[in-house]
Amino acid sequence: MIKELDNMIANPQEIPITDNHIHVDPVNGQGPIKIAKQFHNVGGRVMIIPNKPSWTFGEPFNFKKAMDLVIDYTNQINQNTDVKAFPVVGIHPAEFSRLIEQNKSLEDNYNLVTEALDYGKKLIEDGKAIAIGEIGRPHYEVSKEEMEYQNKIIKYGLKLAKDIDCPVQLHTETASEKEFEEFASFADEIGFNKKKLIKHFSGPYIKENENFGLTPSVMSGKDNIKNAISKGDNLLMETDYLDDLTRPGAVLGPKTVPKRTLDFINKGIFTEKDAFRIHGTNVKSIYGIEI
């Protein structure tokens, strides 16, 4: 009873506070149930969870298992906690880099990745996942040849997502307006709905002339979110929490999004309308899910 009361106090309006990009990892971290309960106890209600790379569970390049695991983790959360969890399935661009280290054939590696993305598409079609991601390109320097193939993978993922009308979570290097414009051009080339192209790990690029129609999933550091909301409420919030005990709190802790949202409401930085828009309306319209 006390626990239920604490939860009600933490989120008195029952805002569907959503972390748009948070990982869970029972192999290297605390795992889905513990993280979901921590998130819920401070007011969190919805977790959108991309699969972690295959090497994190000791089976490099077993891409299909990585996707199956994140679906299992979200099922565990949904069955054992009050959090609603939704899986996102994809191939992190670092997986492609590691493939190249083992096999120099860019084309062969591209075929392996696209085959796995086809499997992810099927999972979404079957209602087991809600989006493709995280896909994209590295946040570290690579050869021109590799970058060309990483961009090809992005476009392949966009084609799959267009076919089934699902969102894509995009992992890239640090992006400013220039990069947002480039990613928007990829979507235009494919005919993909730019609103459903989500720039994960985003800065406060909220205005149309900053994000070129993409959806920014804004990292929820205090200054980043304060800057973002000063421009508008066209955003999602995320932590990119890794759930890795060797890197505690990386990147932001799992309690950050609920605490930041509720603290900003209390301080008048957010209105309740802002919070419902970010965590409710935006999430529903982009993902087509009931929260």
Task: Give the pLDDT of residue 9.
Answer: 61
Which residue bears the tokens 């993280």? 35
Task: Give the pLDDT of residue 6.
Answer: 45
Report the alpha-carbon distance of residue 71 to residue 65 in Å, rounded: 10
Nearest to 117 by CA among 79, 149, 157: 157
Radius of gyration in angstroms for the set of CA atoms belonging to the chain, rounded to a whole number: 18
CA-based angle 276:209:269, to the nearest 5?
Answer: 35
Task: Give the pLDDT of residue 279.
Answer: 98
Percent helix, strand and coil across the chain, each rounded to 5?
A: 50, 15, 35
- Helices and strands (H and E) in the chain: how many: 12, 8
- Secondary structure class of 125 (helix, strand, coil): helix
Domains in the chain with CATH codes: 2-287 (3.20.20.140)
Is residue 256 within 8 A of residue 270, CB to CB? The reply is no
Task: Give the pLDDT of residue 150.
Answer: 98
Task: Give the pLDDT of residue 141.
Answer: 95
Which residue bears the tokens 């087991």? 128
Report the alpha-carbon distance of residue 28 to residue 243 in Å, rounded: 7
Is residue 93 within 8 A of residue 249, CB to CB? The reply is no
| DSSP label at residue 58 | T
Task: Name 85's bridge partners.
Answer: 47
Is residue 35 within 8 A of residue 70, CB to CB? The reply is no
Is residue 31 within 8 A of residue 242, CB to CB? The reply is no
- Read off the tokens for 164: 């089934």
Question: How far does Cα 103 stand from its chain's mean position?
Answer: 29
Task: Give the pLDDT of residue 96.
Answer: 98
pLDDT (tens place) for every residue of the chain, 291 residues total? 334 434 446 898 999 999 999 999 999 999 999 999 999 999 999 999 999 999 999 999 999 999 999 999 999 999 999 999 999 999 999 999 999 999 879 999 999 999 999 999 999 999 999 999 999 999 999 999 999 999 999 999 999 999 999 999 999 999 999 999 999 999 999 999 999 999 999 999 999 999 999 999 999 999 999 999 999 999 999 999 999 999 987 899 999 999 999 999 999 999 999 999 999 999 999 999 998
